[in-house]
Amino acid sequence: MPKNVFSKISYLNWEIMPHYKRVLQLTGGGSYAITLPKSWIRRLGIIEGSTLSVDVLEDGSLLITPEGRQLTRNTSEIIIIEDSPTIVRDIVGSYLMGFNIIKLKSSKPFTSETVNEIRKCVRRLAGAEIIEELPNSIEIQILLDPEAVTPDKVLRRMGSLVNSMVSDSLVSVMSGDLNLAEKSLQRDEEVDRHYFTLVRIVRFAIRDPEIARKMGISQLRLMDFRLVAKFLEDSGDHAASISIDVLKNKGPQISENLLSIFKQLNEVLTKVGVESVEAFLSEEVSLALKVLERRNEYNKLYETIFSSLNYTPESIRDYITKTILNIERIYENSIDIAELAAPISVKSLP
């Protein structure tokens, strides 16, 4: 969010966790011990004889939790946004930061255009709904349990949506089918909704290691999920751009030669799109390497289609060029996902 907006944002009940220091002590038998903070013991209702679960995290730190304890989280985290010039961006930003209640206030009544923008934005955010709408204030509540939605399921669904968008957008280029281009474009909002959901879940799990532990996902892996989601979101945007150009140019007819190359490109993009996401989720290095080995096949098609532009009518040359550049970004995103998946099997370093 822009710096000038922060001055108009208030945070309520955004808990700052206390920091404790303890001296390590050597006990009998060669064991080591530290004392636990009294305030923490009282806060969690731990009594003498309680069993504590101790987990060693990937970075070497320890996670201590009372065994069998059901975690309760603060559901009253509130952000108040007043007179924001970038209200939609601020709503999305507050959602991603993990706030459960977003209150929008204005010194003047919201315009109908602004209200429509807010409603459209809320529809893109999973678990979000407007619970109060007044002329000068709107309250949004987010009911999304981070433990009920696993990152792998969200990412798999997101990958499926993006691959469908890419395929449909390219088929619309080949066929000139405006309805198919529109169908592909409509999926972009759902892709964004899954992206925002995954980012919110990842941020929750990073803030609360207990959530990550229950998910069985390390902090580093969570960051990789965030990165892969961004690659997919970007590919969805480029597929949408292809569809927009098809609609804008009313699906111009292209030569048989270009049709053949586009068909092969579509097959390659579909394969690497599906396999790169699956390689990341399954942690199969062999599948990731299979994606990377298709580089030569793709590069030949890419060079062929660019050389064919010399024989393409000038009236659609820019249209085809923009499509090819969007294809290149989509392909590179899949390669980035595959490269991220490739070293996953290395579980430990010497």
Q: What is the pLDDT tens value at each position of the chain, 350 positions in all? A: 333 343 355 555 445 556 778 788 877 667 788 888 888 787 777 888 888 878 776 667 777 777 765 544 444 578 888 888 899 999 999 998 888 899 999 999 999 999 999 999 999 999 999 999 999 999 999 988 777 788 999 999 999 999 999 999 999 999 999 999 999 999 999 999 999 999 999 988 887 777 777 888 888 889 999 999 999 999 999 999 999 999 999 999 888 889 999 999 999 999 999 999 999 999 999 999 999 998 999 999 999 988 888 888 888 999 999 999 999 999 999 999 999 987 654 443 44
Tell me if 36 is assigned to some domain. no
Residues 218 and 288 in one domain: yes
Q: How high is the pLDDT of residue 249?
A: 94
Distant-in-sequence, close-in-space partners of 60: CB < 8 Å, separation ≥ 6: none
Q: How high is the pLDDT of residue 49?
A: 80
Q: How high is the pLDDT of residue 319?
A: 93
Tell me if 349 is assigned to some domain. no
Residue 227 CA to residue 155 CA, distance in Å, equals: 11
Which residues on adjacent β-strands are paired with residue 141? 101, 129
Residues 137 and 155 in one domain: no
Q: How high is the pLDDT of residue 58?
A: 62
Tell me if 45 is assigned to some domain. no
Q: How high is the pLDDT of residue 348?
A: 39
Kindly report the pTM of this predicted structure: 0.78
Residues shown for the chain: 350
Residues 296 and 338 in one domain: yes
Residues 233 and 332 in one domain: yes
Helix H or strand E segment including 56: strand 52-56
Residue 292 CA to residue 76 CA, distance in Å, equals: 47
Residues 212 and 137 in one domain: no
Tell me if 213 is assigned to some domain. yes
Helix, coil or strand: residue 77:
coil
Residues 210 and 283 in one domain: yes
Tell me if 206 is assigned to some domain. yes
Q: Which domain holds residue 94?
A: 3-11+74-142
Residue 19 CA to residue 40 CA, distance in Å, equals: 11
Q: How high is the pLDDT of residue 1?
A: 36
Tell me if 52 is assigned to some domain. no
Residues 116 and 184 in one domain: no
Residues 156 and 122 in one domain: no
Residue 69 CA to residue 280 CA, distance in Å, equals: 32
Residues 191 and 231 in one domain: yes
Domain end among 84, 117, 142: 142
Number of domains, the chain:
2
Q: What are the angstrom distances between the C-alpha of 151 and each of 16, 32, 347?
A: 26, 37, 20
Domain end among 142, 171, 197: 142
Domain end among 115, 142, 169: 142
Residue with tokens 């923490």: 40
What is the DSSP-derived secondary structure letter of residue 136?
A: S
Residues 168 and 270 in one domain: yes
Helix, coil or strand: residue 337:
helix
Q: How high is the pLDDT of residue 83?
A: 87
Residues 242 and 304 in one domain: yes
Q: Which of 279, 236, 270, 262 is nearest to 316 (CA)?
A: 262
Residues 209 and 317 in one domain: yes
Chain mean position to CA 309: 36
Tell me the CATH number at 282: 1.20.58.220
Tell me the CATH number at 138: 3.30.110
